Amino acid sequence: MKRQSAMAAVLAGAWLVLVLAGAVVLYRQALDRLRADLDGAADAVAGLVSQRIAQHDAHLTSMAALAQRSDRILLDEIGQVAGAIRAFYPRIEGVDLIGWENTSSQAGWRTLVSSRRPGLPPLEPQHLGPVIATAQPGRPVSTVPEPGQSRYLLVKRLPPAVGRLALVLTVDLAELVAADELPMGTRLALRLDGAAARVDHGAAAPEKGLHPPAMAAVRMLENAGQPIMLRLSRHPGWSDLALGRPLALLVLVSLALLALAALLAVQRRRAVQARGEAERARQAGRLSKQEATLAHAARVNAMGEMASGIAHELNQPLTALLSQSQAALRLAGLPAAEPDAMRRVLESNVQQARRAADILARMRAYVGADPPAAQACDLGEVAADMVALMGADLSARGVRLETDVTVPPPVAWVDRVQAGQVMHNLIRNAADALAAVPEERRRIVLRLGQADGMARIVVDDDGPGVASDMLAHVFEPFRSDKEDGMGLGLAICESIVHHFDGSISAANRPEGGARFTVLLPLAGGRRTSQEPMA
């Protein structure tokens, strides 16, 4: 769960970084687009203004030509043209033709023609003396009569051959560009020396707080007589950036990428888990195979230890078969045959032969490599077989084997031979533990009963018990506290019990000695495949 939470946090952080980075890129692209639009608009306005101030030069040229057309000054014609120019071009507030005789005195100046906007103060030509003195004939120059206002004068001195004359245009900078000729939201500032004007077309005041930066485009018009500088600016708002749709698309695309990354991560985690499970299954199979091989080898090794007991067990039916067969031969040689006696002898032979066959069948099954099959097994019968099988050996060791079996005995769901192997190993270990105690205390108690819905086998001995440092490891293979022990007996017992879904435990008794307890599933309503259905 922690790993999944960490993965989710990493993906969410990556998504957030991706969205922020994308938003920054979109924001910069929007600003670049607005700047490019403003530059284009500034170029267009500069072209428009250049065209209009060029018209001023053209007006002066046309009127100068009219003044030079004859040998006299055509004042009336010039006045008509001046009035027409002022009427058609509102930005030209006045057209004057001035002359002078002596520039050092006010009386030496005179206005020959004047057409001015109503309300506009008359031109004071005597103030133009310094400008006219530096002006070259035929080349207009500009001057600002009152700095801080938007009005400037464009003066063109006529050639000396015409006389001491000059044409003067009074131009209003604020009328050079109309507001609706500017892009919406922009502000145009015009400046010529000390004259300045400003034209707004819906320009908003700077917003408070966080907002996009202001931007401006400056152009300087290349006109010698009217060197006008214009500055087109705007304060864009967030709505001007038009980021809504690109951001929404960015979020959708990033969410799709996040979902794809999460899906890939999940698939990768599942693949890793699948490989891990496959590896664990492979390891489990290998261990199970090794365990089966080990169990088989242990059974084969244990077979040698049981061989003497089995031989003793087989010796009894074989001896009985021999003696009873000899008796049958003697009965057959008697003149008066006794069929009933002969039948009893033969029936006894059949019983002994079957007993020997059963013993051999158990031994073959025990040493076989096939896994044992569970079946309903009367543990009382198994205990009786083990008592009979090990009785001679235990007697030789001076060990008393006592049994305590409930009536009826428990019936477990286990292989009969395997159950016998568990009892045999536990009883044999107990007998080995009693070797160091006096013979009168050499006692083993085998108890059979039920506990917690399980069949229970308990083997107690009066020996020294299991060492405390060995108690937790008694079921580990190849660990034994006996000098000649292989450490396989109890490991085999644990493997058999676990195979049949049971359990085994070891403990030291409070009164002394060891106790091994085995729990096996009760047969209950289970039945083998060979048993007929009811």
CA distances to 256, 283, 504 from 275, in Å? 28, 12, 34
Q: What local confidence, expressed as pLDDT, does residue 529 receive?
A: 44
Is residue 515 scored above 50 in pLDDT? Answer: yes
C-alpha dihedral over 488, 490, 494, 497, to 10 degrees? 110
Please report, as a single letter, which amino acid is at residue 508.
Answer: N
pLDDT tens sequence across 87-138: 999 999 999 999 988 777 777 888 999 999 999 999 988 888 888 888 888 8
pLDDT of 288: 73
When comparing pLDDT for 41 and 334, which is higher? 41
The percentage of the chain sitting over the pLDDT mark of 90, rounded to a whole number, equals: 36
| Lowest-confidence segment of 257-266, 298-307, 336-345, 379-388 by average pLDDT | 298-307
Give the integer Cα–Cα distance in Å for 458 and 515. 7
Is the CB of residue 171 less than 8 Å from the CB of residue 91? yes
* Amino acid 58: pLDDT: 93
Which of 60-74, 198-212, 227-241 reaches the highest mean pLDDT?
A: 227-241
User: Given this model, what pLDDT does residue 232 score?
Assistant: 95
Average pLDDT score over residue span 511-528 = 84
DSSP secondary structure, 100-143, as one string: ES-TTSGGGEEEEEEEE-TTPPPP-GGGGHHHHHHPPTT--EEE
What per-residue confidence (pLDDT) applies to 455? 95
Answer yes or no: are the C-beta atoms of 129 and 98 closer than 8 Å: no
Taking alpha carbons only, the member of 100, 66, 103 closest to residue 81 is 66
- Which residue spans within 125-207 are E strands per DSSP? 141-143, 151-157, 165-172, 186-192, 195-201
Q: What is the structure's pLDDT at 198?
A: 92
* CA atoms of 515 and 518, how far apart (whole Å): 10
Closest CA to 398 of 446, 447, 426, 438: 438
Q: Which residue has the tokens 């206005």?
A: 111
Q: Is the pLDDT of residue 385 over 90?
A: no
DSSP string, 393-436: HHHHHT-EEEEEE-SSPPEEEE-HHHHHHHHHHHHHHHHHHGGG
CA dist 180 and 200 (Å) reads 9
* In the predicted structure, residue 477 carries a pLDDT above the cut 50: yes
197 SS3 class: strand
Q: Give the pLDDT of residue 343.
A: 83
Report, as an integer, the average pLDDT of 409-418. 89
pLDDT of residue 368: 61
Average the pLDDT over 483-497 and give the result. 75
Which pLDDT does position 253 carry in this prediction?
A: 87
| C-alpha–C-alpha distance, residues 39 and 388, integer Å | 113
Reported as a pLDDT band with limits 50, 70 and 90, residue 533 is: very low
The pLDDT value recorded for residue 488 is 67
Residue type, 104: S
Contact assessment for residue 99 and residue 76, using Cβ atoms and an 8 Å cutoff: no
Helix axes 416-433, 489-499, angle to 10 degrees: 150
468 or 351: which leads in pLDDT: 468
pLDDT score, position 1: 62
Identify the pLDDT of residue 2: 67
Tokens representing 335 are 């003149």
pLDDT band at 161 (very low <50, low <70, confident <90, very high): confident
CB of 172 closer than 8 Å to CB of 197: yes
pLDDT, position 299: 66
Q: What six digits make up the tokens of 436?
A: 């160091």
pLDDT at 71: 59
Identify any residues that bridge with 216 across adjacent strands, giving them in sequence order: 233
Least confident of 36-50, 382-396, 450-464, 500-514: 382-396
CA 103 to CA 126: how far, in whole Å? Answer: 7
Q: For residues 281 and 388, what is the distance between their CA atoms, to the nearest angstrom?
A: 43
User: What value does the mean pLDDT take over residues 238-246?
Assistant: 84
pLDDT of residue 236: 86
Q: What angle do CA 416, 393, 499 make, to 5 degrees?
A: 25
As a whole number of angstroms, the distance between CA 328 and CA 347 comes to 11
By mean pLDDT, which of 32-36, 53-57, 246-250, 289-293 is the weakest?
A: 289-293
pLDDT tens figures, 333-362: 777 767 787 888 788 788 778 777 776 776
Return the residue matching tokens 């507001």: 179
DSSP secondary structure code for residue 253 in this structure: H
DSSP per residue, 437-497: S-GGG-EEEEEEEEETTEEEEEEEE-S----HHHHTTTTSTT--SSTT--S-HHHHHHHHH
Mean pLDDT lowest among 13-27, 144-158, 263-277, 385-399: 385-399
